[in-house]
Structure 1
Amino acid sequence: MTPSYLLIILLLISTVAYYLGKKRAFAVVKHQGGPKVLHSRPGYYGMLTALWCGVPAVLIYSIWLVFEPTFISDMILSNLPADIKALPDDRLTLVMNDIKNLVNGNILSGEISPVIRSASEHYKHLQFISHACLTVIVLILSIAGLLVVWKIIKPELRARNHVEQLLKLVLIACSTIAIFTTIGIVMSVLYEAIRFFKVIPITEFLFGLEWSPQMAIRSDQVGSSGAFGAIPVFMGTMLISAIAMSVAVPVGLMSAIYLSEYANKKFRAVAKPLLEILAGIPTVVYGFFAALVVAPAIRNTGASFGLDVSSESALAAGLVMGVMIIPFVSSLSDDVINAVPQSLRDGAYGLGSTKSETIKQVIFPAALPGIVGGVLLAVSRAIGETMIVVMAAGLSANLTLNPLKTVTTVTVQIVTLLVGDQEFDSPKTLAAFALGLMLFVTTLILNIIALVVVRKYREQYE
């Protein structure tokens, strides 16, 4: 049985377990006064049965599928001929990839050797045995959990307490997974960045004024030695993000204030969904719009005033990106402003304040922590945008503050450096991880600043 079908069956068994547990709760008190003598509501007994039926089985299911490919690959490698096992690690990895591609039904280029075909058949056989064992173990564990809980259901069983404790453990596990995932991402990027800084000095990377990561691949090849000064890349990122935020923050914030404080319910019911549609448009569509409409319009307008405007400019990318992230500012700010207690408004009106004075001096300061959070989300979205910059701002890393010139951003350079088959040994490829690390540090600094602002104003209004 395939793992996907097994998971569906496991969910069905858990659903049946819920109804059996609930039915059992009613049955044990049928002659003792009815459900009122139960410690918990009948639904909790059903939930407890379903949890013990599903959670341990899902845990074993997940662990099994995580480690299954590694064990099967090791067994396949141990059975390969000695001449293949003697190959270098990179060649041996390619052999395993060919075996896995054949197992998955992918068409391999060239003629398939008998060794690869035999290994793929062995892989399928081991995979079949593994899935069969997984099916038996998971089903036995699931049914055993159902029967054990079904048997111990009694009126004095504290089912609600057990369910809440189990759910608490599940939430803790999910939080732990999220934390370790973040740590894993940071450590992997940091490891590769350290490898880069062993080749290129960190001072050159942080303070260099030229970015040209092209390098000669072989010692006998004529090519550039590469320049890895990241200042032009980060300057382009900040320039485009600043242009985008200069559009998104005023428009989004003013829209939120109008919709929450001035607009009537009918207008708000129509305007807010229309505004939020902007967040659902794919970024590639924005990129096409920036490249085909906004950039030519800016170039033609600049030419009419005698200005030299590049065909791809930071201004075009920033303006379109600002329009894209307006909903992030307006929607979150609107929700935060509406969450300000009405008593603050009534108190301000009672002291003789006008609506505009109430908004400026009472509502806006009280909602500032949430507004800062929305703006921070918009900034992170602007910094991480790639498609619009590729299509409207270009790939040239120019050190300039002129919004009419071509610039590039960190994310665009990361994508450019990692496109295609790359060897993770050259400074050109490793530079992408150094850029990612610096981008992470920049975002972390923005989060710290926002946290300071949020704490300062939250203390005043709580």
Structure 2
Amino acid sequence: MPVFWIFVIITGLAAAGYVLGRGRALASAGGDQRNLHSLPSYYGSNAAIFTFVPAFLILLIWLVLQPIFISLTVQANIPDSVVPEGSTIGLVMSDVRRLADGLDTAVSQGVITDDYARSVRVDLTDIRARLGEAGVALGSNLTSEIMIAAQRFRSMTNTGNLIKTIVVLLIALGGLGYALSRTQKDFRARNTVEATVRVLLIVAASIAILTTIGIVLSLIFNTIEFFFLYPIGDFFGSLTWSPSFGGGSDLGVWPLLWGTLYISVIALLVAVPIGLFSAIYLSEYASPAVRSVAKPMLEVLAGIPTIVYGLFALLTVGPMLVDAFGDDGYLGLGWMQGGTAVMTAGLVMGIMLIPFVSSLSDDIINAVPQAMRDGSLGLGATHSETVRQVILPAALPGIVGAVLLAASRAIGETMIVVLGAGAAARISANPFDAMTTITAKIVSQLTGDADFASPEVLVAFALGMTLFVITLGLNVFALYIVRKYREQYE
């Protein structure tokens, strides 16, 4: 049974459990809810929770573990001779899964029968033709061993899905029966429901932490694997980035790190002054009518997709800069040779970051107590002096947080860099030269059919770990600034 219908059934059972639990509680109290320990809705919610939550958790765990178990089992029975030279068992398993899915598709379309799909004497040429009729594309290395593995994979998957359906539905029915057996007027349903909800809230709050831990661990393990294949001293000590999937790569991180920081600094030099001055004007000087129009228009910038900003950099900003700073530009400086450059990406990225700085700074400035403004004005300070010497120092921790958020956003940007800055990995002080960033190279190294066991691919995880450490350092610095200045106003 498809997962969707299993979910629908256990949801329906939970709804029925709510009605039955509520009705059973009222019946045990003689129809008078004043004789109940808890409100009737708590008895219904208790039955619904015991029906839905255990079954749903088992369903989620099953969906995660079943593919892993089946893949490992099938992979263990594939002989080493099946793996072509220069390939990996992972690619063979991809062919197995693709063929198993193709058999299911062909059976569902009526191109072949289920008995034919399970037959041990299938002609490979015939099965390829039949699957082609069903629109299933297969690789060129279809062998009898892969066919047998795909049949085993398909059989185990179908069996596992059947057992999954039975187990999940039995658990839902068992939870419903257990909850109803406890439902009577003296049962403390409210305590049970509130304790369960508290546990669910803790689990929900833990998801972000567990996700962060999972991301960090995946980066760490793959980074360690990369440094087993490529010397860490060459990675951090080389000033050359020259990957070669044929071997002999020079994977120095510094050209990419330089381009990342250079573009981010230019973007912040654009975004921070404009965004901060916009926030000061909107919060302290603009009339309500102007604010009601200007603030939404400014925040529209945050909703524009980054690919649009990239096209804007490629088609508009880049040619404009070439017209000004190129060999034939009207300034006659000859600094810029093409439209893709650090300055192009930095300017456009700075425009993209303006609403991040402006909106957050505006909210933080508005959160400064009005009493501080009134006290400053009462002592004879002008409005501008109050803004400069009272409001901005009081809002400084939040403004620093906004700037750091914009910096993190700039460091992690990809599309604007790909379209606006170029792909050249170099160290240059000229902002009109084409450069690239760590994020752009992560994309390029993971694109295509490259072997994940090669250092040219695993270097993407080392680059990601480098970005993570930089971002973590920025956050620690921001926390230090916030704590230092917050003590002066509390």
| Smaller-chain TM-score bracket | 0.7 to 0.9
* Equivalent pair of 2:95/2:139 in contact (CA under 8 Å): no
1:132 aligns with 2:155: no
Q: Take 1:21 and 1:120, find their aligned partners in 2: how far apart are those partners?
A: 47
Deviation at 1:87, TM superposition (A): 8.1
Q: 1:53 aligns with which of 51, 60, 66?
A: 51
The Cα offsets for residues 333-360 of structure 1, whole Å up to 9 and x where unpaired, read as 2223333333433443444443333333
Cα 1:78–1:385 change in 2 (3 A) is closer
The answer to which of 330-339 and 197-206 deviates more is 197-206
Give the partner amino acid of 1:246: L
Cα 1:44–1:257 change in 2 (3 A) is farther
- The corresponding residue for 1:447 is 475
- Structure 1 unaligned residues grouped into runs of 5+: 218-224
Deviation at 1:184, TM superposition (A): 2.9
1:310 aligns with 2:310: no
Deviation at 1:415, TM superposition (A): 1.5
Q: Take 1:296 and 1:431, find their aligned partners in 2: how far apart are those partners?
A: 34
1:286 aligns with 2:316: no
Q: Take 1:17 and 1:333, find their aligned partners in 2: how far apart are those partners?
A: 49
2:413 counterpart SS class: coil
Q: Take 2:194 and 2:489, find their aligned partners in 1: how far apart are those partners?
A: 33
- The corresponding residue for 2:93 is 96
Deviation at 1:86, TM superposition (A): 8.8
- The corresponding residue for 1:239 is 262
- The corresponding residue for 1:365 is 393
Deviation at 1:189, TM superposition (A): 2.1
1:390 aligns with 2:418: yes
- The corresponding residue for 2:348 is 320
Q: Take 1:333 and 1:41, find their aligned partners in 2: how far apart are those partners?
A: 46
- The corresponding residue for 1:220 is none
Deviation at 1:386, TM superposition (A): 0.9
Cα 1:384–1:78 change in 2 (3 A) is closer
Deviation at 1:175, TM superposition (A): 4.0
1:400 counterpart SS class: coil
Q: Take 1:41 and 1:357, find their aligned partners in 2: how far apart are those partners?
A: 59
Give the structure-1-normalised TM-score. 0.88
Q: Take 2:85 and 2:194, find their aligned partners in 1: how far apart are those partners?
A: 53
Q: 2:193 aligns with which of 144, 163, 176?
A: 163
Q: Take 1:350 and 1:21, find their aligned partners in 2: how far apart are those partners?
A: 64
Deviation at 1:135, TM superposition (A): 1.6
1:205 aligns with 2:231: no
CA RMSD of aligned residues (A): 2.8
- The corresponding residue for 1:329 is 357
How much identity, in percent, do the aligned residues show?
Answer: 48
Give the partner amino acid of 2:58: I
* Equivalent pair of 2:100/2:151 in contact (CA under 8 Å): yes
The answer to which of 7-16 and 238-247 deviates more is 7-16
1:256 aligns with 2:279: yes
- The corresponding residue for 2:112 is none
Q: Take 2:97 and 2:265, find their aligned partners in 1: how far apart are those partners?
A: 47
1:226 aligns with 2:249: yes
Q: Take 1:449 and 1:422, find their aligned partners in 2: how far apart are those partners?
A: 38
* Equivalent pair of 1:84/1:92 in contact (CA under 8 Å): no
Deviation at 1:252, TM superposition (A): 1.8
* Equivalent pair of 1:77/1:85 in contact (CA under 8 Å): no
The answer to which of 309-318 and 125-134 deviates more is 125-134
The answer to which of 9-18 and 57-66 deviates more is 9-18
Deviation at 1:117, TM superposition (A): 4.0
- The corresponding residue for 2:68 is 70
The answer to which of 161-170 and 319-328 deviates more is 161-170
Give the structure-2-normalised TM-score. 0.83
- The corresponding residue for 1:299 is 322
Q: Take 2:89 and 2:228, find their aligned partners in 1: how far apart are those partners?
A: 28
1:461 counterpart SS class: coil
Q: Take 2:83 and 2:268, find their aligned partners in 1: how far apart are those partners?
A: 57
Q: Take 1:150 and 1:362, find their aligned partners in 2: how far apart are those partners?
A: 63
* Equivalent pair of 1:414/1:432 in contact (CA under 8 Å): yes
Q: Take 2:225 and 2:145, find their aligned partners in 1: how far apart are those partners?
A: 37
- Structure 2 unaligned residues grouped into runs of 5+: 103-135
Q: Take 2:377 and 2:80, find their aligned partners in 1: how far apart are those partners?
A: 87
Q: What is the aligned residue count?
A: 452
The answer to which of 323-332 and 5-14 deviates more is 5-14
Give the partner amino acid of 2:361: S
